[in-house]
Amino acid sequence: MANVAVVGAQWGDEGKGKIVDWLSERADVVVRFQGGHNAGHTLVINGVTYKLSLLPSGVVRGKLSIIGNGVVVDPWALLAEIGRIAEQGITITPDLLKIAENACLILPVHGHLDRAREEASGSAKIGTTGRGIGPAYEDRVGRRAIRVCDLADDKILEQKVEKLLAHHNVLLKGLGAQLVDGQEMLGQLKDIAPKILPFADVVWQRLDEIRHTRKRVLFEGAQGAMLDVDHGTYPFVTSSSTVSGNAGTGSGVGPGQVGYVLGICKAYTTRVGSGPFPTELFDNIGETIGDRGREFGTVTGRRRRCGWFDAVLVRQAIKVGGINGIALTKADVLDGFAELKICTGYRYKGEVIQHLPAAQSAQAEVEPIYETMPGWSESTCGARSWKDLPAAAIKYIRRIEELIGAPVAMLSTSPEREDTILVHDPFAT
């Protein structure tokens, strides 16, 4: 049976929550493989809205849910999220949720440092959520990180806290920020350890056992390809690899086990925070798209920047991420526009180019080249088959397929999970 990886093909916030929920009903196991609680998925099930940040979407369906080693885990945020979901009737037990024992932790010092850096950056802010994800990943590659398994060893924990703060307090002092007390941090970690350790598991081994049972695994990514630390709009990116190649590394499985890669993208483009955005709209059309699409971040509540569909970026994400098919979301937001535009290329220094350059200055200077298409006056909201769509909407979707070089496997026409047109089932591919 095929496994499926779901990744964002734009700057995140593409509507992965609904698509992952739709797929999770068909999956046996859901694995979150990167990111932290800076990401957010919104699920609407039977009229009830669930907002998840760290928890894999499968928990709402009662499916075995795994937080892989590629995720940085804020244990306090995780317990708070488990508490919120419990209030909605979803009980999270160690039988339902497994956390990789080698996953790195986000500590209060990380958020403290993250916010101090952003404040010191002034107009050069990257636009982080201030939740410590970046500093936690820095500690991971700097070999200073405290991991889930360390919570079971007081001696190692004490040594690691000392080493960690020897590094971070120097930075905080240089930023004029308050230093962190090691004993206080140690006490916080020892207090939360018995609440987190029951969820710890040898995830790579469990996934290997699952592979031999032929169960379907859904690998769930966060953010999007243009926020990838290598392939995104650097330095205005996240601190992890968001493309499908990280599904195996961040979970502890080989690349051959990932299977079908489904990229999620909106029928237009949005971005949160700072950084280049070639097709961004600063007029009433952009405002209208944002209002209709309710474009506010699940985690931050920040209003998203909105623009026309950028086929150049999505095509690039498809090539870099090995995406086999696209789930196109929020097509209904475009209902009623007399005409629509699609970015088919960029103009840079007098030349037409077909990719987003890596250089920061070049990314800021590219100008979109647009193709104009007729819009549609009919409503597509809630459509569940191609025959329910206006001819102009189908033409728009087909043109997107041509420009990005990948088929639309699924089309979402509202936040409700059943309002989905399935062209082909990724699990059956």
**Which are the catalytic amino acids?**
13, 41
Query: What Å distances lie between residue 250 and 17, 33, 140, CA to CA?
Result: 19, 5, 13
Phi, psi of 129 (to 5 degrees): -80, -10
User: Do 311 and 317 meet the contact criterion of CB atoms below 8 Å apart?
Assistant: no
The span from the CA of 5 to the CA of 164, in Å, is 34
For every residue of 44-65, DSSP letters joined together read EETTEEEEESSS-GGGGGT-EE
The span from the CA of 262 to the CA of 229, in Å, is 20
Q: Based on the number of CB atoms within 10 Å of its own CB, is 366 exposed (0-12), middle (13-18) or buried (19 or more)?
A: buried
**Residue 374, helix vs strand vs coil:** strand
The span from the CA of 18 to the CA of 6, in Å, is 11
User: Do 104 and 110 meet the contact criterion of CB atoms below 8 Å apart?
Assistant: no
Q: Smallest Cα–Cα separation from 327: which of 178, 247, 218, 190?
A: 218
User: Do 265 and 227 meet the contact criterion of CB atoms below 8 Å apart?
Assistant: no
The span from the CA of 65 to the CA of 29, in Å, is 6
The span from the CA of 31 to the CA of 387, in Å, is 35
Phi, psi of 346 (to 5 degrees): -125, 150
Q: Within 13 Å and on the Cβ side, how many CA atoms surround 9?
A: 34
User: Do 309 and 399 meet the contact criterion of CB atoms below 8 Å apart?
Assistant: no
Query: What Å distances lie between residue 148 and 18, 94, 131, 133, CA to CA?
Result: 29, 14, 18, 16
CA angle 269, 271, 277 (to 5 degrees): 75
The span from the CA of 34 to the CA of 52, in Å, is 14
